[in-house]
A and B are shown apart, each in its own frame.
Chain A
Amino acid sequence: MMTTATKTNLGASKSAIGHHYDVGNDFYKLWLDKNLNYSCGHWQGVDNLEAAQLAKIHHHIQQAGVKKGDRVLDIGCGWGHALQVLSENYQVEQAVGLTLSEEQGTWLDNMSLPNTHVRVESWTDYQPEEPFDSIISLGVLPHFCRTEMSVDEKVAIFRHFFEKCHSWLKPDGKIAFHCLFSGYLPADPESVLPSKEFLLNEIFPESDIIPLSSVLTGSESLFEIEKVSNHTDDYRRTCRAWLDRLKNNREAAVKEVGEEIVKRYEFFLRLSVMAFETKSVSEYSVTLKRIAPPAGSPTY
C-alpha cells in the first residue's frame, strides 16, 4: 500500500528528487542491477553487480540487528529491493519505506510486497504509528542538505534527523546507513569546482556531499557508534559497472531518454569513478545504536 504526503522538507525538494529519480524507470533498468539498487554494492567475495547489491542489503539489515517479527523503517527506499529482502528473507512484521519519488512509489505499489507499506513522504514529516526495532537508510543522506547551508546548519539537520530516529526506535534499536561523504580536498580546489557544480546542478540539485563528521556530530548523545567501515573502492567498482552497462546499452538508452541525458549520465558515472579513485569522495557504512541515559544519570 502506498501513501502520498505533500509537505515540504529541509533538504532536496520532491521536484529536485524527481529531477534525478523520475527520469524513467526503463532508463535505469538499462544500467542498474535487475533490482534497481542505486547505491554502493559490496564486492567482497562476489564478482557481479547483482550479487554485490544483495550483499550490501544483507550487510545493512544484519548490522541493524533485524530479527524475525521486527518492524523496520527504510528511509529513502528507492525501488524497494531492501524492503523486498526484509519481507521475503527476514520475515519482518512490517517494513515501511519512505521515498520522495512518485515513480518509485508507484513502482513499489505495483510490487505489492507482503508486510510492506510505502509512503511518498519526507522523513521530516513522517509520524510512525508504532516504534521500530531497526532503521536502515541506503545512500540518501546527501539529499538532506543543500550546498549553500553552513556547517552548523547541516549539523542541525542531522541532529533533527537523529532525534526523529531516536524517537521512532525502541530502546537499543539500531540504525545502519551508508552514503558517500566528502573526502580528500585537492590542493587546488578551484580545479574541481566545475565538476562539483555539474554534480549539484545537473544531477543532484538541492543536495550536498557532506563530511561524515557532520553526520556523527548530529548523532552525539542520542546514539553510540557501533561500526564504521570504508567502502570507497566498492563504490568505484559499482559506478564502473553502471558505466559499462550504460555504454553496452547505449542505443536503447538514447531511444528511451535521448542523447543529451545519456551523455549527462555517462559523464556523471565517469566523474564518480574519478572522485572515488582520487578519494575526493569516500563511501562509509555506519551502524549506530540508540542510547538513553538512565534517569538520574550525571550530566557532564
Chain B
Amino acid sequence: MTQLNSNHVAQLSQQQLTTWLVNKVIAIAKIEAHEIDINEQFINYGLNSVDAVTLSGELEDFIGYEIPASIMYEFSTINELAQHLSRDIDSPFAIEGEK
C-alpha cells in the first residue's frame, strides 16, 4: 500500500465506504437515494470514464492511500468496491491513521 503524503489512511468500515459511494453515485447520476441498488453496476447509473476517473481520485483522497485509477472497472458495483476496500484496509499492510 502506498500512503499519500498529504493524508492519513482512514480506518473505514464497509458501511462507511458504502455510504460515501452511494452519496457520490446519487450526486453524479442525479437520482434519489431510494433508487440506488448497491449491487447494480456503476455503468447502469450512467457513469462514464470521466466519472470513473474523477471518482477514483476523490475516493483516493477520502481513504488516504493510492488505488488504481481503473478500480471502478475492476470492482464494478458499490458493494464490490466497498467490500474490497474494507478488506484492503484490514490487511496487515494497512497503516493506521486518524480515526
Contacts and interface: CB of A to CB of B under 8 A. Distances in A.
Interface of A: 188, 191-195, 198, 240, 244, 247-248, 266-267, 270-271, 273-274, 277-278
B49 A191 contact: yes
Given A273-B69, A277-B68, A278-B70, A198 B50 contact: yes
B39 interface: no
A interface, over-half SS: helix
Given A247-B6, A248-B5, A194 B70 contact: no
A248 B6 CA distance: 7
Contacts of A247: 4-6
A240 B70 CA distance: 13
Given A247-B4, A247-B6, A270 B69 contact: yes
Given A271-B69, A274-B70, A277-B69, A192 B49 contact: yes
7 contacts: A194-B50, A240-B66, A266-B57, A270-B69, A274-B69, A277-B70, A278-B73
A247 B52 CA distance: 19
Nearest to B48: A194
Contact of A270 (B5, B6, B57): B57
A267 B56 CA distance: 10
A244 B52 CA distance: 19
Contacts of B57: 266-267, 270
Nearest to B54: A267
A195 B49 contact: yes
B69 A195 contact: no
A191 B70 contact: no
A20 to B, nearest CB: 19
Interface of B: 4-6, 43, 48-50, 52-54, 56-57, 66, 68-70, 73
Given A188-B43, A194-B48, A274 B53 contact: yes
A288 to B, nearest CB: 32
A194 B69 contact: no
A196 B78 CA distance: 25
Contacts of B54: 267
A263 to B, nearest CB: 10
Nearest to B7: A247
A271 B49 CA distance: 8
B6 A195 contact: no
Given A247-B4, A247-B5, 20 more contacts: A188-B43, A192-B48, A192-B49, A193-B48, A194-B48, A194-B50, A198-B50, A244-B4, A248-B6, A266-B57, A267-B50, A270-B56, A270-B57, A271-B53, A273-B68, A274-B52, A274-B53, A274-B68, A277-B68, A278-B70
Nearest to A277: B70
Most chain A C-beta atoms within 10 Å of own C-beta, residue among B54, B57, B68, B69: B69
A274 B50 contact: no
A53 B13 CA distance: 40
A8 B4 CA distance: 45
A266 B53 CA distance: 10
B96 to A, nearest CB: 22
A254 B16 CA distance: 31
Contacts of A266: 57
Contact of B48 (A195, A240, A273, A274): A195
Contacts of A198: 50
